[in-house]
Amino acid sequence: MKTLYSFGDEALGTALKALASAAPTSAVWPVVNRAIAIPFQLDQKAYAVWGFVFNGSIVSGNVDVGIYRYDLRLLGATTASAQSGTNEIQTQRFAGGGLLLPIGTYYMALSASLATARMFAVALNLNHLRALGVVQMAAAHPLPAQFNPAAVTNAYLPCFGIGLETVI
């Protein structure tokens, strides 16, 4: 099982290393019902089995992890579920059991229902986030079928991702 996450090399990891960003810390979610989407690249077919979020020091409300095609149409998501367990990784299977993903570019997205929830995240310059392709959407919890992107307005990059099985 391979884990693909927001700070990993398939997503923004290489750029984050170049920007010498700080280690993630527990930080409050920026806005009620906000979703944040991060581009990632697959160089081989994979089967997405579960999504995860690295919960921070306070758990509050519900979270949802999803995968979008490059045109921002939803391929699948976990069912929005209550944040559970402080300072630990929370996993949940994708609805329907999993998603077959061919080689290509995608977005992984995370939404949260309350602005009192905390996740591990890094604060990153807004221009860097925008240049890296990070987008947000208001009123996007649970994750919608079509992600309508807007430029990020908070210097907040959460630690979340997906669990993959390689397909031969």
Q: pLDDT tens-digit profile of 94-137?
A: 988 899 999 999 999 999 999 999 999 999 889 999 999 999 99
Q: Examine the pLDDT at 168 and tell me if it is beyond 70.
A: no
Q: Kind of pairing, strands 118-122 and 135-137?
A: unpaired
Average per-residue pLDDT in the chain? 93
Closest Cα partner for 149 from 157, 138, 161, 141?
138
- Summarised one tens digit per residue, pLDDT across range 20-39 is 567 899 999 999 999 999 99
